[in-house]
Amino acid sequence: MSPRPIAETVASLMPKAKAELTELVAFKSVADFEQYPRSESEGAANWVADALRTEGFQDVALLDTPDGTQSVYGFLPGPEGAPTVLLYAHYDVQPTLDESAWVTPPFELTERADGRWYGRGTADCKGGVLLHLLAIRALKANGGVPVGVKVIAEGSEEQGTGGLERYAEQHPELLTADTIVIGDAGNFRVGLPTATATLRGMTLVRVEMATLEGNLHSGQFGGAAPDALAALVRVLDSLRAEDGSTTIDGLDPSASWDGLQYDEDAFRKDAKVLDGVDLIGSGSVADRIWARPAMTVLGIDCPPVVGATPSVQAGARALISLRVPPGTDAAEATKLLMAHIEAHTPWGAQVKVEQIGQGQPFRANTESPAYAALADAMRQAYDGQEMQYAGQGGSIPLCNTLAALYPEAEILLIGLSEPEAQIHAVNESVSPEELERLSVAEALFLQKYASAN
């Protein structure tokens, strides 16, 4: 089975894919409707639905999920007796952060001198939508799609509100499949074919600290009056060891990663660590980002420096993210985190800890037949390079929901979010060459998977 016809077809479709991704990126589809209009997300959902209809998908529907967002579903029947493959992506995106820090407008796909396409969602994960469409189109142009295909495009993955997970649990027959391809991961770096074998889970916790009925003059009362902001800082500091590694009472910080390793100098470059600044934690980089818990303070509510008054603070709060490694239950990790915060709160301060989001970690079975077919397809699409297995520090909570609902299904994780993509940051981008190669790989995988069944 020669990969050339598929590769030539995908190459010919890339100008159309760029135009379509430009249209899709233009929707400000952030599923936080206090910041962005709901109509932007609805527009993106309708765009995906129309694209599926154009490709002949049946039963195309906008599913109203319990978190108030919409997921897009469609089904393309395959030959009699063929297996069914579910293709996943999400059309919602992260907020833009500081728009002034974007070199080009975040919601305008722009090709820059380096050849990459810039814009929010180009890699995470509107590019994933195009990845699936390109693979389907290439197969249709070369003998037809040899499997049944279901597509689900989620509308709130970045918010972690669990709408699609709960919808799937309520309608378990909808997404049933023999194999599931999650198009929301990424190669270890550009040009190196990679399957993501593990995902860390996540819990989000909001901490509120209160010590006084109201702010007090720091000259008149400072030194004896308990400062809520200082109490919060003490608690946050207790969540890290001296070397910066995460330390939560009862949570194992010592697991190791035995797969593909991440060179420390390469990591410093990918993470854009400033000269002279140390990395935090111990063990290998892969240990730290794929196999161990990691706490991050996402935000603190307290007076800004500009306009601050000489006051002892009566209250302060923070939003904390804890990434949970495979092998650890996210619910148990949340309990340990909340207990740690309460135990380490100083001066008898009143503390309120509230969980606002959670997703379980995931570990794939890389010994499955589908992974063998994917490795063969990746080898052909990437000029003979062997597929590598890596972890991912991020979370895709839907993976565990699907694994629980369909325990016999094989789950594969690929995607466009390699380090240069800078997902979730300003100046997010996608490599068009990576989009092209992965689309070829997915099409070849579907052919090989069908032949093996």
Positions annotated as catalytic residues are 92, 157
6, 143 contact by CB (below 8 A): no
23 exposed, middle or buried (CB, 10 Å; 0-12, 13-18, 19+)? middle
Q: What is the DSSP string of 218-259?
A: HHHHTTTSPPHHHHHHHHHHHTB-TTS-B--TT--------S
Instruction: Please name the residues in contact with 354: beta carbons below 8 A apart, sequence gap of 6 or more.
Output: 205, 206, 208
DSSP 8-state symbol, 278: P
Q: What is the side-by-side strand order in the sheet with 117-118?
A: 110-111, 117-118, 429-430
What's the CA gap between 337 and 323, in Å, rounded? 11
- N-term to C-term CA, the chain: 16
Name the nearest CA neighbour of 167 among 38, 283, 47, 62: 62
When computed from its CA atoms, the radius of gyration of the chain, rounded to whole angstroms, is 23
Task: List the structure tokens of 353.
Answer: 């800890």
145-164 residues labelled b (16+ CB within 10 A) or e (exposed): bbbbbbbbbbbbbbbbbbbb
Residue 246 phi, psi dihedral angles, 5° rounding:
-75, 130
81-100 residues labelled b (16+ CB within 10 A) or e (exposed): ebbbbbbbbbbbbbebeeee
Name the nearest CA neighbour of 393 among 217, 180, 200: 200
- 447 SS3 class: helix
Alpha-carbon distances, residue 71 vs 122, 168, 412, 414 (angstroms): 19, 11, 20, 20
